[in-house]
Amino acid sequence: MNVTLKVWRQKNANEEGHFETLEARNLNPNMSFLEMLDVVNNELEAESKMPVAFDHDCREGICGTCSLTINGQPHGPGEGVASCQVYMRSFKDGDTITIEPFRAKPFPVIRDLVVDRTAFDKIIQAGGFVTVRTGSAPDANAIPIPKETADLAMDAAACIGCGACVAACKNASAMLFVAAKSSQLNMLPQGQAEKDTRVLKMVATMDEAGFGNCTNQYECSAACPKLISEDFIGKMNRDYLFANLRQKFLRRKKKI
């Protein structure tokens, strides 16, 4: 099959970008989207031209680095898939495919289709962890956890931090990401000690990074390759509200 690509090319965050038209010929419909880009880059390099820069690692839908917007849709066509899990059979012979990086102010373009998602790392560093004494691994059954709670925590932990939720949101909100990363710990007994400080710090860091607010459009969960439920946003909002109230109560108690 043959397709025409309109690929975003940008040298760095400080320079203006533009779309470049490239031809992808004699493709196998069963190759992945990233394999197709590999073929195109091999041809560009053979012609001594600059290849298209794009992020990738596992190519199994686990790492979340393949942050491409394909035909205006984060990660491209299909439900619950990352860009590396999109196959050329999803398109028709002769199609024109537009490829762009994730568009969000907190995700500046590094080069071409590669964006800087350091803002996500800062949010995790602010509270996406559990402080415990290091040592030998504890017994798996030492802390009983109800199955329903464990299942919900695992659902939240499925988030791969790709940023599709931000790219899909008209406000560039990171609420789904922050909700998943905070909820996976806040629901477990091991995360209770730092529950309030965790959600307060992670939300504050999210706001400082310049992410927008949630307006309940739910484009985030629709674009998520792991289909993280928007219900976690509601849970995070409740955790944030109660954490604020408890802090205000404690400050007032200290004054008394």
117-255 belongs to CATH 1.10.1060.10: yes
**Matching CATH topology for 3-111 and 117-255?**
no
235 and 179 Cβ atoms separated by less than 8 Å: yes
Q: Is the dihedral of CA 137, 122, 101, 156 positive or negative?
A: positive
Q: What is the C-alpha separation between 186 and 80, in angstroms, rounded?
A: 25
Domains of the chain: which residue ranges?
3-111, 117-255
| Spatial distance between the Cα atoms of 180 and 239, rounded to a whole number of angstroms | 12
Of the candidate CATH numbers 3.40.50.11740, 3.10.20.30, 3.30.565.10, 1.10.10.10, the domain formed by 3-111 belongs to 3.10.20.30
- Report, as an integer, the average pLDDT of 26-55: 97
Residue 256 pLDDT level (bands cut at 50, 70, 90): low
What is the distance between the alpha carbons of residues 70 and 129, in angstroms, rounded to a whole number?
33
Average pLDDT across the chain, whole number: 94
pTM: 0.92
Sequence-distant (≥ 6) Cβ neighbours of residue 168 within 8 angstroms: 74, 219, 220, 222, 223
In 3D, which of 10, 111, 114, 31 has the Cα closest to residue 67? 114
pLDDT per residue over 68-102, tens digit each?
Answer: 999 999 999 999 999 999 999 999 999 999 999 99
**Percent of all residues in the chain with a pLDDT value above 90, rounded to a whole number:** 88
